[in-house]
Structure 1
C-alpha cells in the first residue's frame, strides 16, 4: 500500500472508487425504474397531504394494511426509512422529504403530459403553461400568445400572480415558464432567466387630479397624505415605494386598497380623484387608454427589476417554450 493510501486509511478508510460510486448510482436508478409504480408516487403524495397512514386509508378508501404494505415497498426501494413513526403520525426523514418532492414533480409532469397528449390528439402541436405577473402589458402578452398559436399551433394556459408565487409554481412543475421579475430567481440553481426589458414606474390618478397637480414639483410629503392603491410591500414596486417615502423622511402611507389587480386599480382611480397609485409606464399607458385616468407629470429616476422570462433548467428545452422565447425576443427587442 502506498504512503497516500496509508494516509487515507489513517484518516478513516480508503476513499470509494468513482467507478464503484457510479455503479451504485446506476443500480439505484435501475431499481427505481424497474420497481417504482404510479401507486407509489400517489401514496407519497397522499402521505404528504394527510400526514398519517390512518388518514391516508380513510381519505383514499384503501385498507390500512394495504397502505402500510405500499409504504414498506417504497422504503424497500430506497433502502432506508422515509418517515419517523409516532402517535401523531409520520414525520419525513431528509430522504422522505426528497422522495415526496420528487413524487410531486413526477405526478405534475405526468398530468402535463396527459394534457399535452390530449391537445395533440385534437390537432394542436403542444400545450404551454405560462405564468405572468399582472404588470406584464396585455398588448405584449396578447401578441405573443397569438403569434404562438398562429405560427406554431400551440395552445396556451395563463396563470397570473405575483412573481414569488409563480416562481414557486414553476419549481413545483405546475408551470413551464414565467414572465416576472428576475430578482425572484436569486439563489435558485434550478432556474435561469432571460431579460426582456426594463420598466420605469410612473404615478397615475384621476384625470381631474392630473390637472390639479400640473406644474407642481414632486413632493413626497404631499403625496403621503393622499389615498393610495399599492401592491404588497413584498413586491418590487411595493418595496420601492416604502423606500422612497422613508428616504424622504415622511410616513409611509397605508394603502386604502392593497392589490396587484390592474382592473381594480383602474376602476377605483377612474372614479375617485383623491386616489393615486404607481405602476410601470407601459401599464399606465394601457390604463389611460381605457379613459378616466392619466399619468402624473413626474419622472422617477429609477427602474423596476427587469421583466424577464424565467425558465427551469432542462437537459432538453421544451420546443413550445423555445418558440415562445423567440417570439418574446422579437416583440421586446
Structure 2
C-alpha cells in the first residue's frame, strides 16, 4: 500500500460517503462484497471501486479477498471498531431529526438494582426542578451495556465496575465518573437457622443451597472470589438468576441463600422478607460509575444526569 502525506489522506477522506463506511460494516457482517453490494443496491464494480477508495483513504489494506468472499483484515477490524460508534451516532441523529419532539433523547443503560432505588430518586428531583431530560432506559449486564455504549447504541451507562474493567484497553474510549459504592451481602430467610447466628464462617455456607447470578456476571465473580480468597471452593448454584429482587423473594420462601447488592438486601430486610448474614470475612463492595463515550454526543442532559447521580450517590448505600 502506497504512503500518502497527511494532506493527501485528508483529501481522500473528504471524498468518502456514508455508503463507504457502511461497506466496511456490511463486509464484516456478510463476509462478501457481493452481498454488501446487494444490501447497498450497488453493482459489484461500484462496490469494488468503493473498497479501493476506502483503502486509499485509510492508507491500509482493509479487505482480504477469499475463496468464499471477503473479510476484514486486522486493519479493517480496527477501523470498524472506531467507525461503529460514528455510524450508531448517525442513526441516532436521523431518528432524532425525524422525531416530533425537539428535545434530544438520552439512551441510558442502568442495572436493575439502581433502577429500583437510585434512579427513581434522581428522576423525582430533576422533575421537581424542571430539568428532567427525555430518556430511554435499557437494562442488561454491566459488560453488555458497556459494549452497547462502546458501539454507540447507548449514550451513557450507570454501571457497576471494578478496577480491572476500568483499566481494560477495550474501554479506553470511555469516561468514568464515580457515583457511589454499593456492597454485597449474603441473605437468608428470617427464620433460617443461620439468621440466629453472628459471625457466620464461609465454610458453613458451603453446606447450603444457593441462588446465584450467571457465571458471566460481575456479582458471580465477586462471590467466587470471596471463597477462593479463603482457599475454599465456590458454592455451586442450585438456581441461576440475575434478578436480585426475584432471588430475594425466593430466599424468603425457601431455605436457600443468595448474594445481592446491599441496597437490595437492606430494602428487603426492612420489609421483613430476608435477613442479612454477618460473615467472618471482609465485606465486598461494588463501585458504581456514570460512564460516557469520549467521542459521544455532548448533550446538556448528560451533564445534568451525571451531576444528579453524584449528588444522590452519597446517600445511596444503606448502612
TM above 0.5, one fold? yes
- Consecutive unaligned residues in structure 1, runs of 5 or more: 1-20
Map of 1:35-74 to 2, 5 A cutoff?
A: 35-57=15-37, 62-74=42-54
When normalised by structure 1's length, the TM-score is 0.80
Q: CA shift at 1:180, angstroms? A: 1.6
Shift of 1:285: 2.2
State which of 66, 74, 85 in structure 2 corresponds to 1:94.
Answer: 74
Q: Residue 182 of structure 2 aligns to a residue in which SS? A: coil
How far off is 1:174 after superposition? 1.5
Matched, 1:326 2:304: no
Structure 2 counterpart SS, 1:208: coil
Contact 1:133 1:161 in 2 (8 A): yes
After superposition, the C-alpha distances for 1:146-182 in whole angstroms (9 at most, x for unaligned) are: 4445633521112222222222222111111211234
Contact 2:185 2:284 in 1 (8 A): no
Choose from 104, 108, 123 the match for 1:130: 108
- Report if the CA contact (8 A) 2:189-2:195 is conserved: no
Quote the RMSD (CA, aligned, Å). Answer: 2.9
Q: Which moved more, 1:168-177 or 1:180-189?
A: 180-189
Q: Using a 3 Å threshold, how does the CA distance of structure 1 residues 263 and 132 change in structure 2: closer, same or farther?
A: same
Matches within 5 A, 1:224-235: 224-235=206-217
Structure 2 equivalent of residue 28 of structure 1 = 9
| Corresponding residue for residue 115 of structure 1 | 95
**Superposition map of 1:136-147 within 5 A:** 136=114, 138-147=116-125
Asked whether the equivalents of residues 182 and 195 of structure 1 are also in contact (C-alpha less than 8 Å), the reply is: no
CA shift for structure 1 position 323: 0.8
Contact 1:41 1:104 (8 Å CA) reproduced: no
Shift of 1:140: 0.8
Aligned counterpart, 1:220: 202
Matched, 1:301 2:279: no
Give 5+ residue unaligned stretches, structure 2: 315-319
Query: Where does 1:223-262 land on structure 2 (aligned, <5 Å)?
Result: 223-262=205-244
1:174 counterpart (131, 135, 153): 153
State whether residues 127 and 157 of structure 1, in contact with CA within 8 Å, keep that contact through their aligned partners in structure 2: yes
CA shift, 1:289, in A, is: 5.4
Following superposition, the deviation at residue 277 of structure 1 comes to 0.7
Question: Residue 186 of structure 2 corresponds to which residue in structure 1?
Answer: 203
Paired residue for 1:277?
Answer: 258
* CA-CA distance at 1:202 after TM superposition: 1.5
- Which residue in 2 is equivalent to 1:11? none
Determine if the alignment matches structure 1 residue 154 to structure 2 residue 137. no
Deviations 1:104-129, CA, capped at 9 Å, x for gaps: 2221011122233345x425x32111
User: 2:166: which partner in 1?
Assistant: 185
State yes or no: 1:268 paired with 2:261. no
Task: Report the more deviating stretch, 93-102 or 293-302.
Answer: 293-302
